[in-house]
A and B are shown apart, each in its own frame.
Chain A
Amino acid sequence: MASVGKIARRTFLIGAAAVAGGVAVGYYYYRKPFANPLETDLGKGEATFNPYVKIAADNTTTIVAPRAEMGQGISTTLAIMVAEELDVGLDQIKVEHGRASYAYYNAAILEEGGPFAFFDESMTAQAVRSGLGVVGKLLALQVTGGSASTRDGFDKMRQAGAAARHLLIAAAAQKLGVAAADLETANGSILHKASGKSLTYGAVAAAAAAIAPPTEVKLKDRADWKLLGKPQKRIDMLAKVTGAPIFGIDVRMPDMLYGTVKMSPRFWAKPVKVDLAKAEKMPGVIKIVPLETNYGHGFGIIAQNTWAAFKAADTIDAQWADPEYPLSSAAILDVLKQALGTKGSAMRDNGDVDTAFADAPREKIVEADYAVPYLAHATMEPMNATARFKDGALDIWCGNQTPTLVRQLCANAVGIEQDKVTVHTTFMGGGFGRRTEMDFSLCAALMAKETGGRPIKVTWTREEDMRHDAYRPAAVGKFQARLGDDGMPVAVDMRIASPSVIASTLRRLFPSISPVGPDKSIVDGAYDQPYTIANYRVSGVAAPVSIPVGFWRSVGSSINGFFHEGFMDEIATAGKIDPVELRKKLMAAYPAAVKVVEKVAAMAKWGEPLPAGKAKGVAFTLSFGSWVGEIVQVADTPAGIRIEKVWIAADVGTALDPGIVEAQLISAAIYGLSAAMGQQITFADGMVEQSNFHDFDAMRIFQCPVFEVAILENFHKMGGVGEVGTPPAAPALANAIFALTGKRIRTLPLSTRVAFA
């Protein structure tokens, strides 16, 4: 277990430091050493207590939730953390994204060496500051940062609310001439029970803000929570059911121009021959400009409206240089398989795997080769950004997961200082990792240099979006197990090859930095699972294919959940052991995992006989600190295989909003099932073959199973929720199809081998 222990400590280091850091330094930052950014634009009668809270004389309370909302409900959950300690109801508050202050605040934490800024700013700093180990650090920050908003905010946000409440009580005590200890708070008011006198927060806000903040605040015990731990109404729901203009694509400004891009369909390739004349003459087209970014080359079309820009882009006749990577999916697969033949880096190596296999009798060996394709994110809102470059200053409006990086890279691109760039982060019509990229922002920034100061909204077509992603990488895996006489595995050897997400990301964002060391994301979800096997090795190999790859919901675990759990099912079958029993035995050292497996099995009535033509499959993945088991039930129907029901049990440690947690688990499972059923990005002639939802579809409502979810809180540390439902979905489905049909499908998407109803 030595190496698992080591890995576990390393993996948790960032998370643990973040929590500790929040407790130790969190409150300090609300006042010192940096100015509270809310102070610079307070409205009349408004008072602010820290970067997260301001209260007006009329008792209007504004909470800043400094994270981008892409559907995961984070703006609601962060606001609840403050509201809980401030003693205000959710119907009494306004929640803002916290634009300028948001970027500033994260930079501030970083300068102090704070352990847990948003990953973007940390990525920059880490890259500059640290030579060796940069890859591992970047990756850890991305993975933890990408799924840990609630963990990061849990102490900071509650302390912000508690500190403001403390000051309001102190001011009320002065005003009423009573002891602070005799005052109570509820629903934005302060009550002196003995006299029956009460004051609103607004009535004492100005006086309270003038009092020196406390050095220490006491947070509520969990037993006293009124909002946290219970399902709340999302603060963004009304806007989203009324069609309010909240997304990047909805930005409208006086005198605004419209545009789109046509980038090389071969990544990194330059145009060798182009005729713009016909496109330039089309009605509504103002100008076509060349675009060169770290993401590739192409053209920006500036027009009077989006439709004119789309039509012109379609008319551009260009030939592009040959790509630097293999032309076809088959040739790319060859490169991956070649990489699989090399040794790679063992991220887990228990016992002595080579010796364990050396004398293994043939009939005790289980072997399998697995493969998964490239995948697009395909957010519902296509990539877009609006930019205005006027009087030497750049403003960018877009949904993005990384505002400080947007600021930095756009400043570089247009050749101005970062302090001349303002990033306005909007709601996102889906993120899933796609909006960590800079391409849409960079294109808009460059095009804004060509419009004489007029703002321009640059919207990509769906086709452009589908063909210019930072894709979930393709991967191949070679798996081998030796079974003991009892059917249980005594040795398992897993080798996985995939293009490196971190190397690809560095090329796009910081091309001057060379990746150092192995990319852990290649084996995430395989090397870090709570199984005990005497001889257990998981190795990763970075395959040299330079098609852009990036962070796709659950990253490496989206690949390795399928590989690992598909192979575990094969071991169970070969060893004639029930797959649930196999897992419980192998996970015995991890009680949280066993409880999850037991729970999901009980919910699904695992083991009870099913009618003919129905079957179930199970899978489990620990990712982003949460332990998730899923069981999928499929049925054979005349129209094909139907996914009837999915049971999910997830131990997230602490569920701050069980309603949002459940919605995220279902969402992530559907995301994983969609990919497993039918999605793949393939290449021909160096270009992506798919273009739109007709050839890269996702689950539809008529395919959607019934879900049953159990949220457990057994583990002592809080886990993430946005991604953790994805990894077990594909293997649970594939294992169910094996149980139904006897077909062991080891290559995704499953639709290449079976039809779905």
Chain B
Amino acid sequence: MSSLSGSGFLSIDWLLTLIAAWLLIGCAGLLAPRQLGFVGRTLYPLGALVGLALAAVAFGALGETAEVAVLPLGLPDLPFHLRLDSLSALFLLLLGGASAGISIYAAGYLRKGEGTAPGLQCLQYHLFLASMALVLLADDAYVYMVAWESMALSSFFLVTSDHRLPEIRRAGYLYLLIAHVGAIGILLSFGVLQSGGDLSISNGVADYTFAHMRAMPHDAFWASAAFGLALFGFGAKAGLLPLHIWLPEAHPAAPSPVSAMMSGVMLKTAIYGMLRVSFDLLHHPLWWWGVLVLALGLLTALFGAVFSAVQSDMKRLLAYSSIENIGLLFVGIGLTLTFQSFGMNALAVLALTAVLYHCLNHAAFKSLLFLCTGSVLHATRERSLGKLGGLIHRMPWVAWLALLGVIAAAGLPPLNGFVSEWLLLQAFLFTPSLPHAYINMLIPVAAAAVALTAALAGFVMVKFFGIVFLGQPREEKISQAHDAGWLERLGLVWLAALCVLLGLFPVYVIEKLDFVTRSLLGVGVYPAGNNTPHGWLLLAPISADRASYEPLVFLLMIGAVITATYLIVHRYWHGRARRSAAWDCGFPLQTARMQDTAEGFSQPLRQVFEPFYRQTRELPTAFDTAPRYRVVVEDHFWYWLYLPVARAAEFGARCVSFLQQGRISIYLLYSFLTLVALLFLVRG
């Protein structure tokens, strides 16, 4: 660590020490790979502590001047360059905060005989964490790609930890394939950024550091090429349409803490990369980049929401909901780019703040929800919504904490999801000031689509919570479900607390986010100098008379109304109520089969959005003695895009397969003829 020789032990050195600690914890898992007590009760809580420390250090580094370090690792003449600036610090804060909750949950979640040995899984898990942290710290393309690939590989092994099941192997393969296709895009993008399209590298520097790329002037064509490649690569990791296909397969396949980690944190590393390339390495966005990202994000958001509405597997439902949230994030990035390209940085900053805020929010509530599904899964061994129900009586802790997560995910005040979606819509409201007629005409449609997406997300969350936790158990065995253990509760409470805090103190959060926006765009929501113009309670990003939001007051109002209603109902009304045998309204007895099912609940949406789906239905006849209804909803993209590509690849492979003769002499002859032909060519 070269920075050690400088001014003492810097934040970045602390971070590197913590990353090393994660790696050490992972390796310690190999000492006793089968000892659940050691791995679960010692190593994972230690990992959670490291996560907390990482978050604390990153929090301290927000707004400080950037620190750099050079590690003497890597190839000769190509050491690892690392850099900690506000953007990295924010995402490290996200990583540390979310991983603290997830790790402590995982400590209680591990069971004997589930997939990979616990110690090995511990290594994969902590390697995954460490490589994500390294991605966020990387300051050259080389270390970035190394960390990026180790992140993909370690998460691949985590996804396939139950590799005995063929569908899990298939999901893992799909994930790995798309991760690698995306990595090619990122690699090429870095190549273009490095050379600026000049293949001769005439400037003589080939170190691939981000500092070099930042200083490099890019003309419009090559900047667009780099941006497009980055969008492709990071889009593949984030699950942007049409590269989303791996997400609903891989998330349900992974163990729940891993799904939480992937959805909550790993997808954000792609957002981080996108922000890093668009706003830090490239400087002058063209307006059509913004519109392209906006359109793709919008499609993704709508697609994710519409699909998550009809899922009947709770983890798939959440996975599609992640696609929707990623779409919203890309909408925000697109809006920021559009504003920035027209030089309207004061508005761009609003959209960018919404993006960063939503990253934090999504990390908190989606991890929380995935962990809740993990507890439900362990308690009932059931993932299908059609067989759950009534769990609020058996698992009150999980249910009430899930309710918090659901309110946040649905974007309802006073929790955190509302703040970022509100900020995003605020940013949309300012688009009429854009000096471009066509964009001005299209943007209202986009704003309406965002609003529709938010509404659909609300629907999805009602479905998720209502079907899983409310009503009566749909299966006999559900009644024996037990609540989560204390370690799991601790993790859930931590994440739920993050949701609440992020929701109640938006002014404070935005003040911190301003450090990041100032470093990327040069301005913040609030004027520099750390004075909030409207005080701590009132959030008014543009001006108080235009739009404002006071979450604490809102919370007090809700609390007051609920308390008053409760008191009125119990004190003044029920006190005089007469209890007697009811007329039953035609329901002499209620069974679980009378409840709305997951399919039934979403049936209206399936009708409305029919063109989106490829569905096959089996309807029972009226005279069926054991009627069964079955509906399978599939993705058009799979049939329209992926299968043709797969078939073309197979056809191409068959065309060249005659080259494979199985005889070494023939293979040698191929090289020989190539050699002679090449020699013949260079002769002239």
Chains A and B are bound partners? no
